């Protein structure tokens, strides 16, 4: 009897691999019946990873989205799964243990069956606790091997990790080939090795971009793989996933038992996805992400990150070219920047200890490479600006690096008085739910069904507060309005900048389109009360990069205030860019006479952050 291979539609990752945002809940609920009707899926990836943060960023409650989105699949007997980042939960930074425990309870109550846990360092100390937390919450624990190609990441390396996870009680193993650079023969051998340890369920996840993944799917299935992740048009291929039609046909021809596809339903779902893209999501999907490109083999950047990378790169290119124009140098094209970035990723990755290029470490390596490129293009030294999160990874605070840190980075850490970490990473992040409970009570916020609102605040504090205030939706509406206006203005029909008013739940926000003045979206009634430039005395501390301004990184930290004495080298604020917090230190001893922005405000390179009088 031929072996059966089942399919999982990675609907969340289809969007994340293509662009910056995911559909609204009304759009998700509308497409679900067509996906069910297709009849070929035993699983659907409904949430996890960046899904909930993205919901908050455009002003939608992710708890409502998950509950309504998972229900039609449950009703049809289709399992739902989410992607979780082990120590980091659903976000970019580490999460306290009590928040991690609540995470699994909430998600199971909301309708998610399977949690796919991964650690970009493949450090089992981060993954194994999630097995217990998932079981306590009533979920299936699927543990991942993050696949990459390096001298360190051998078949034996991965086989040993799989055995450790199986011995720890995981229910399933995922081969998470997040960049699609796993070589087919390598993956076939690894699958066979895992099946030899135990006949455990194996699911293969891969992105199409570099060009290996159809061959890899065939190899892992021949070796005993049980489930294959697939996408569908118009979001398959490119930096996304192989299309269900092609995968099903290939496996059927190879003699595997696979479910048939209702093509009428496929076309219904395809049409609805295109409608979502036409509505607003397509504004955040760069055309290049729809193409496959073997240049991706070199840097090994994951498909899920490429979605946002190409969008963010436009801003980085603008920043570099502003500096070049100011200094009389020729401008750089996006292709030139992309090649420089890919080359720099290949250079810095081994020096940073070969962390697997998957969230958040892919962002850290890419951000470090991009920061190096930007600094060197402006005549500064490589490694001249390293974000705290990147240091934490390199120094072992997030887990053990697979390789060794380069001697020059070890020396730089010692020069800055930074400490290396060998303890269990979770011990660095004490329980915090009680403090978030107090904040919920103080603000008068509803804890939500099964404490889901408490969970959302604890998992995504900055984004949740911006969502509750209405600022997140205002910023998103402003950004979307700018993209639409610029598209409509091709041919010179419209001039910039323009000021418009965005209405969010009755709160009016003034937004300037086509000119980033660092103010972000401000409530119309309050815009006059925002800190005004020029009222303080002293030296101007400027932003070294574009992003969002924050006085503190964590909610419990004390913020610098006007009148405070600060020392040269003292960290006094942060600029969050490319999903990492970059510490900004005072350049002088003195007194803070002015804080020029409110926390969460957008900031451009060279904008004044504070004034300090010696």
pLDDT of residue 553: 82
**Tokens, residue 325:** 């124009």
Give the per-residue SS3 of 469-534: HCHHHHHHHHHHHHHHHHHHCCCCCCCCCEEEEEEECCEEEEEEECCCCCCCCEECCCHHHCCCCC
Phi, psi of 427 (to 5 degrees): -65, -15
pLDDT of residue 10: 97
Kindly give the pairing relationship between strand 227-230 and strand 6-9.
parallel
pLDDT of residue 224: 98
Cα–Cα distance between 401 and 591 in angstroms, integer?
A: 40
**Does residue 588 fall inside a structural domain?**
yes
**Tokens, residue 536:** 């303080």
Residue 237 sits at the vertex; the CA angle it makes with 231 and 243, to the nearest 5 degrees, is: 40
One domain, residues 561 and 510: no
- CATH number, domain with residue 545: 2.40.50.100
- State the residue for tokens 């107090």: 438
3-state secondary structure of 330: coil
One domain, residues 501 and 561: no
CA–CA distance from 273 to each of 29, 205, 337 (Å)? Answer: 12, 21, 31
Burial class (CB in 10 A: 0-12, 13-18, 19+), 304: buried
Q: Check whether the bond before 344 is cis (ω within 30° of 0).
A: no
One domain, residues 324 and 262: no
One domain, residues 198 and 327: no
pLDDT of residue 305: 57
pLDDT of residue 499: 46
Q: What is the pTM of this model?
A: 0.81
Asked which of 268, 290, 312 is the last residue of a domain, the reply is 290
pLDDT of residue 320: 80
**Does residue 252 fall inside a structural domain?**
yes
**Does residue 584 fall inside a structural domain?**
yes
Cα–Cα distance between 182 and 300 in angstroms, integer?
A: 10
Cα–Cα distance between 403 and 355 in angstroms, integer?
A: 8
CA–CA distance from 558 to each of 296, 550, 565 (Å)? Answer: 42, 12, 14
Give the per-residue SS3 of 134-146: HHHHCCEEEEEEE
**Does residue 462 fall inside a structural domain?**
no
One domain, residues 62 and 143: yes
pLDDT of residue 430: 93
Cα–Cα distance between 37 and 78 in angstroms, integer?
A: 11
Cα–Cα distance between 206 and 614 in angstroms, integer?
A: 55
Cα–Cα distance between 2 and 188 in angstroms, integer?
A: 18
One domain, residues 412 and 396: yes
Q: Check whether the bond before 360 is cis (ω within 30° of 0).
A: yes
Q: Which residues of 82-105 are buried (b: 16+ CB within 10 A; e: fewer)?
A: bbbbbbbbbbbbbbbbbbbbbbbb
Asked which of 526, 556, 591 is the last residue of a domain, the reply is 526
Q: Check whether the bond before 497 is cis (ω within 30° of 0).
A: yes
**Does residue 434 fall inside a structural domain?**
no
Q: Are 100 and 129 in contact (CB under 8 A)?
A: yes
**Does residue 138 fall inside a structural domain?**
yes
One domain, residues 606 and 482: no
**Does residue 489 fall inside a structural domain?**
yes
When divided into structural domains, the chain yields a total of 4
pLDDT of residue 516: 39
Residues of the chain with pLDDT under 70: 1, 299, 301-312, 489-535, 555, 578-579
One domain, residues 421 and 501: no
Domain span at 541: 531-613
Cα–Cα distance between 330 and 324 in angstroms, integer?
A: 6
Cα–Cα distance between 145 and 166 in angstroms, integer?
A: 12
Q: What is the dihedral of CA 53, 59, 63, 64, to 10 degrees?
A: -150
Asked which of 240, 275, 290 is the last residue of a domain, the reply is 290
Cα–Cα distance between 227 and 8 in angstroms, integer?
A: 7
Cα–Cα distance between 67 and 127 in angstroms, integer?
A: 26
One domain, residues 348 and 282: no
One domain, residues 546 and 412: no
One domain, residues 363 and 325: yes
**Tokens, residue 243:** 């299309």
CA–CA distance from 13 to each of 206, 230, 318, 375, 458 (Å)? Answer: 11, 10, 28, 32, 24
CA–CA distance from 93 to each of 105, 369, 458, 459, 582 (Å)? Answer: 20, 19, 12, 10, 13
Name the residue among 127, 136, 78 with its Cα closest to residue 106.
136
One domain, residues 122 and 261: yes
**Does residue 341 fall inside a structural domain?**
yes
pLDDT of residue 304: 56
Model confidence pLDDT, tens digit, residues 464-482: 999 999 988 888 888 888 8
């Amino acid at each position: 009897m031929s072996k059966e291979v089942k399919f999982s539609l990675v609907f969340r990752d289809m969007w994340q691999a293509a662009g910056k945002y995911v559909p609204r809940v009304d759009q998700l609920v509308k497409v679900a019946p067509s996906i069910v009707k297709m009849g070929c899926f035993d699983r659907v990836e409904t949430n996890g990873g960046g899904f909930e943060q993205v919901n908050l960023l455009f002003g939608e409650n992710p708890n409502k989205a998950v509950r309504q989105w998972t229900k039609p699949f449950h009703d049809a007997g289709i399992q739902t799964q989410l992607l979780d980042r082990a120590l980091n939960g659903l976000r970019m930074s580490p999460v306290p243990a009590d928040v991690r425990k609540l995470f699994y309870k909430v998600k199971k109550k909301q309708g998610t069956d399977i949690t796919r846990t991964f650690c970009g360092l493949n450090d089992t100390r981060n993954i194994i606790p999630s097995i217990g937390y998932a079981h306590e919450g009533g979920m299936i624990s699927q543990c991942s091997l993050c696949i990459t190609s390096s001298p360190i990441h051998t078949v034996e390396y991965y086989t040993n990790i799989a055995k450790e996870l199986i011995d720890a009680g995981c229910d399933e193993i995922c081969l998470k080939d997040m960049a699609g650079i796993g070589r087919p023969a390598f993956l076939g051998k690894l699958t066979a090795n895992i099946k030899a340890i135990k006949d455990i369920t194996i699911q293969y996840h891969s992105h199409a971009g570099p060009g290996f993944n159809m061959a890899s799917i065939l190899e892992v299935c021949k070796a005993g793989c049980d489930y294959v992740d697939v996408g569908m048009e118009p979001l398959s291929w490119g930096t996304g996933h192989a299309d269900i039609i092609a995968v099903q046909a290939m496996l059927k021809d190879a003699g595997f038992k696979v479910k048939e596809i209702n093509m009428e339903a496929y076309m219904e779902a395809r049409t609805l996805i295109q409608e979502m893209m036409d509505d607003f999501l397509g504004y955040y999907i760069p055309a290049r992400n729809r193409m496959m490109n073997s240049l991706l083999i070199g840097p090994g950047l994951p498909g899920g990150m490429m979605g946002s990378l190409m969008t963010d790169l436009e801003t980085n290119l603008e920043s570099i070219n502003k500096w070049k124009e100011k200094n009389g140098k020729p401008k750089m094209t996006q292709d030139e920047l992309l090649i420089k970035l890919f080359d720099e990723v290949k250079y810095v990755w081994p020096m940073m200890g070969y962390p697997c290029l998957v969230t958040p470490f892919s962002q850290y390596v890419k951000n470090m490479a991009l920061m190096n490129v930007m600094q060197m293009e402006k005549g500064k030294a490589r490694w001249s600006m390293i974000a705290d999160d990147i240091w934490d990874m390199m120094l072992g605070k997030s887990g053990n690096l697979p390789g060794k840190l380069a001697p020059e980075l070890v020396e730089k850490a010692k020069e800055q008085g930074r400490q290396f970490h060998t303890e269990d990473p979770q011990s660095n992040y004490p329980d915090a739910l009680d403090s978030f409970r107090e904040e919920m009570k103080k603000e008068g916020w509803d804890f939500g069904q099964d404490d889901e609102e408490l969970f959302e605040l604890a998992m995504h504090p900055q984004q949740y507060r911006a969502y509750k205030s209405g600022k997140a939706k205002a910023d998103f509406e402003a950004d979307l309005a700018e993209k639409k206006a610029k598209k409509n203005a091709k041919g010179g029909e419209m001039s910039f900048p323009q000021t418009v008013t965005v209405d969010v739940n009755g709160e009016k926000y003034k937004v300037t389109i086509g000119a980033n003045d660092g103010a972000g979206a401000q409530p119309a009634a309050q815009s006059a009360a925002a800190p005004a430039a020029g009222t303080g005395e002293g030296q101007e501390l400027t932003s070294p990069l574009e992003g969002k301004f924050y006085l503190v990184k964590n909610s419990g930290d004390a913020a610098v205030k006007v009148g405070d004495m600060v020392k040269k080298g003292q960290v006094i604020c942060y600029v969050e860019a490319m999903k990492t917090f970059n510490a900004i230190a005072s350049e002088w001893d003195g007194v803070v006479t002015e804080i020029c922005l409110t926390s969460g405000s957008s900031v451009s390179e060279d904008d004044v952050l504070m004034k300090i009088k010696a």
